[in-house]
Structure 1
Amino acid sequence: MAETTVTEVLASLAALEDPKARAVNERHGDDHGVNLGKLRALAKQLKTQHDLAVRLWATGDTAARLLALLICRPKMYERDTLDGMLREARVPKVHDWLVSYVVKKSPHCEALRVAWFADTDPVVASAGWALTVDRVAKHPDGLDLDALLDRIEERMKDAPDRLQWAMNHCLAQIGISHPALRARAVDIGERLEVLKDYPTPPNCTSPFAPTWIAEIVRRQ
């Protein structure tokens, strides 16, 4: 589908609109009605088209933005462009995919992690924490893990939802990946009780950090 236009793509997305998918997505704060499996299939059909991705993002349409994140070239975005995209991305799935599929593959990833981590906007800060989770798991050299635990202990309990979720993930990851800090991570989780009563389906791991840590360590 070379030289595909934005109009053609929006028509394809409109044809995939499903009221049931919209109802499910909207429960998670995502304002679109496209099944994500079908969205990925469309992305596979389009293949990588960075210029089209840029134009799709500019529409502001949630499904179009999710598609854009699947067909773009992450390394072609400038740091300031990614920063602006994240600040526009208030829809949870767009925010998550932007961080996971684009920023993590960008040469600007670490600079953005540091900047976002310290941002006063809790949604932006949550992206900094999400990138920090990745560092904790894969490249912890240079991170002050004790200082991260101090910050989690001090701020996670009262943090807004998105930021709290990302901080809690970081707490669990420290406990999972760093045995020397595991007891402290579990202790913080037990005392703060963040997500302790989160409804967890059968066969899924609870996001309550002490339970999460214990389960993943047991599997290892």
Structure 2
Amino acid sequence: MVAETTVAEVMAELSALEEPKARAVNEKHGDDHGVHLSKLRALAKRLKTQHELACRLWETDDTAARLLAILICRPKAFERHELDVMLREARAPKVHDWLVNYVVKRSTHTEELRVAWSADPDPVVASAGWALTTERVTKKPEGLDLPGLLDVIETEMKDAPDRLQWAMNHCLAQIGITHTEHRARAIDIGKRLEVLKDYPTSPGCTSPFAPTWITEMVRRRHDM
């Protein structure tokens, strides 16, 4: 009963933090909550790590509660099958993104899930696999078949659903940025496929169009 009361208290606090304007902005990106992320992080900092509470909050199926759960859980406490179920439940983009970056990447099952998810027929699940692959491309590329990844990107990215396409494009860009020997091919693939070529980019931000992204990041490295 104590855990249930605690969940009720946290849910009440999240409800009090709800702001209609924040919800309107978030809903444009597919995230159905109205709590500013800075306030969510402040609440998580106050609660500190509470894994059992995190699991109970996740079970509420509330987006703000799940984001909070991600911040107060113990990533290494989850079994592989638990993370797989959680990812498939995480349909809100922000929950999906935080779960992959803050939990799965810190778990002991990252590589197994990367391989399994990358081949999953669900494009949202597959996008998580590609996000984990991009992490390896950047930080631990040993053992990865980079030419093979470029083959898949070249064949499948153009017609992939939005979230999967975005994840594959990110991987393409990182291969070009971090691996000189594959840079020319990565840029060529990006130019031919033209994925995100016309994506609106705010002043001062780098375009997600892979050839532009790669060229700009390489230039910055040389300028440092």
Equivalence for 1:181:
182
Equivalence for 1:87:
88
Q: Deviations over 1:182-212 (max 9, x none)?
A: 0000000000000000000001110000000
Partners of 1:27 and 1:197 in 2: CA distance: 19
SS at match of 2:96: helix
Partners of 2:80 and 2:32 in 1: CA distance: 27
1:168 aligned onto 2:175: no
Q: Deviations over 1:85-143 (max 9, x none)?
A: 00000100000000000000000000000000000000000000000000000000000
SS at match of 2:187: helix
- After TM superposition, which residue ranges in structure 1, 4 or more long, deviate above 6 angstroms? none
Q: How does 1:118-137 map to 2 (within 5 A)?
A: 118-137=119-138
Q: How does 1:13-28 map to 2 (within 5 A)?
A: 13-28=14-29
- Return the letter of the residue paired with 1:206: S
5+ residue gaps in structure 2?
none
1:23 Cα deviation (Å)?
Answer: 0.7
1:190 aligned onto 2:191: yes
- Return the letter of the residue paired with 1:54: C
Equivalence for 2:154:
153
Equivalence for 2:206:
205
Q: How does 1:58-73 map to 2 (within 5 A)?
A: 58-73=59-74
- Return the letter of the residue paired with 1:107: T
SS at match of 1:200: coil
1:34 aligned onto 2:14: no
Alpha-carbon RMSD across the aligned residues, in angstroms, is 1.0
| TM-score of the two chains, using structure 1 as the length reference | 0.98
- Return the letter of the residue paired with 1:26: E
Partners of 1:43 and 1:126 in 2: CA distance: 27
Equivalence for 1:216:
217
5+ residue gaps in structure 1?
none
Partners of 1:212 and 1:137 in 2: CA distance: 15
1:109 aligned onto 2:96: no
1:175 Cα deviation (Å)?
Answer: 0.1
When the two structures are aligned, how many residues end up with a matched partner?
219
